[in-house]
């Protein structure tokens, strides 16, 4: 098959098989941690629980030491958009929202997924930001078609999020994934004509829109990782890793009950 962008890998059946395993483990880690997401737990404790779970399943947490990231998961609370660093000093409380982003490496393949949880009793505003972010992910996934184009994804997400009066973060994007954590292409979540690249069977990538209640603009804290909204508005995110097949699109990080 002719690949329109040689930087984007076309994977085979064996790659798919291994990606399914790593992605299911990532999804199960999020399922596992959900019951612990309660007022008074620290983000460090959430980190340690996920770390142990991942290790005990024969995998490793991809964020740990990735470009110097110091922890095993990202925990992004309230106005933190992404890449929040777990800390023993940070206790979550009723009314907070927290995104937990899990990436595992199993048998050399990465599975990457995240979800924003409501802690205790949340305002209707917080519930709405979280629900719009979740729906934004599904709007993006629904726009993926084999032989369609990457810019269909951002166009669909932005159209939906605009209609809800929220904004789409532009400074961070989804990504190709597989043996590498962050591979080509960049998957933009906002309306654009840049990514007029064809989506082909065998591609693996993430979609992970970050949705802000206010401005889409971002600010990086002095720790070099934590990304926040400029206006302190709430931000929520959901992420799946998907595989494009000949006649369908498979969400690899859907949790399977066992």
Query: Which residues of the shown chain bind ligand MF3 in the complex (CB under 6 A)?
Result: 63, 66-67, 69, 74, 83, 101, 103, 112, 208, 239
Q: Please choose, out of 39-47, 100-108, 126-134, 183-191, the segment that lies near Co ion by the rule CB under 5 A.
A: 100-108
Cβ 123 to ligand MF3 shortest distance, Å: 26
Whether the Cβ atoms of residue 170 and residue 164 lie closer than 8 Å to each other: no
| Partner whose binding site includes residue 69, from Co ion, ligand MF3, none (CB under 5 to 8 Å by kind) | ligand MF3
CA distance 22 to 196: 29
Q: Find, among 85, 43, 87, the residue nearest to 67 by Cα.
A: 85
Compute CA distances 216 → 190, 212, 213, 255, whole Å.
Answer: 10, 6, 8, 30
Cβ 154 to ligand MF3 shortest distance, Å: 16
CA distance 237 to 225: 16
Nearer to ligand MF3, 32 or 69 (CB): 69
Indicate the DSSP class of residue 239: B
Q: Find, among 53, 96, 56, 48, the residue nearest to 76 by Cα.
A: 96
Cβ 1 to ligand MF3 shortest distance, Å: 27
Please report whether residue 183 would count as binding Co ion according to CB under 5 A: no
Q: Please choose, out of 16-24, 52-60, 80-88, 203-211, the segment that lies near Co ion by the rule CB under 5 A.
A: 203-211
Site for Co ion in 109-168 (CB under 5 A): 112, 114
Please report whether residue 101 would count as binding Co ion according to CB under 5 A: yes
Q: Which residue is nearest to ligand MF3 (CB)?
A: 63
Buried b (16+ CB within 10 A) or exposed e, 119-141: beebeeebebbbebbbbbbbbbb
| Partner whose binding site includes residue 202, from Co ion, ligand MF3, none (CB under 5 to 8 Å by kind) | none
Cβ 246 to ligand MF3 shortest distance, Å: 27
Q: Find, among 195, 210, 189, 81, the residue nearest to 141 by Cα.
A: 189
Indicate the DSSP class of residue 119: P
| Partner whose binding site includes residue 218, from Co ion, ligand MF3, none (CB under 5 to 8 Å by kind) | none
Cβ 224 to ligand MF3 shortest distance, Å: 10
Strands (DSSP E) along 29-152, which ranges? 60-61, 74-77, 80-82, 97-106, 109-118
Please report whether residue 22 would count as binding Co ion according to CB under 5 A: no
By CB under 5 A, name the binding residues for Co ion. 101, 112, 114, 206, 239
């Amino acid at each position: 098959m002719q690949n329109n962008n040689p930087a984007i890998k076309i994977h085979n059946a064996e790659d798919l098989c291994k990606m399914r395993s790593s992605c299911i483990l990532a999804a199960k880690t999020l399922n596992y941690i959900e019951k612990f997401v309660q007022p008074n737990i620290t983000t460090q404790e959430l980190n340690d629980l996920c770390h142990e779970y991942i290790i005990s399943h024969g995998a490793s947490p991809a964020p740990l030491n990735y470009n110097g990231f110091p922890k095993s998961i990202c925990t992004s609370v309230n106005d933190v958009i992404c890449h929040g660093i777990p800390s023993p000093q940070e206790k979550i409380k009723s009314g907070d929202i927290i995104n937990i982003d899990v990436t595992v490496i199993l048998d050399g393949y990465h599975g990457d997924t995240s979800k924003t949880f409501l802690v205790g009793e949340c305002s209707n505003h917080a519930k709405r930001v979280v629900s719009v972010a979740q729906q934004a992910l599904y709007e993006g996934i629904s726009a993926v078609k084999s032989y369609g184009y990457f810019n269909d994804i951002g166009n669909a997400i932005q159209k939906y999020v605009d209609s809800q009066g929220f904004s789409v973060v532009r400074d961070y994007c989804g990504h190709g994934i597989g043996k590498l954590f962050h591979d080509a292409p960049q998957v933009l979540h906002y309306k654009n004509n840049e990514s007029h690249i064809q989506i082909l069977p065998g591609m693996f990538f993430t979609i992970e829109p970050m949705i802000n209640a206010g401005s889409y603009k971002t600010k990086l804290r002095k720790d070099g990782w934590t990304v926040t909204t400029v206006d302190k508005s709430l931000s929520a995110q959901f992420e799946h890793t998907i595989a494009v097949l000949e006649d369908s699109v498979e969400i690899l990080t859907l949790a399977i009950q066992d």
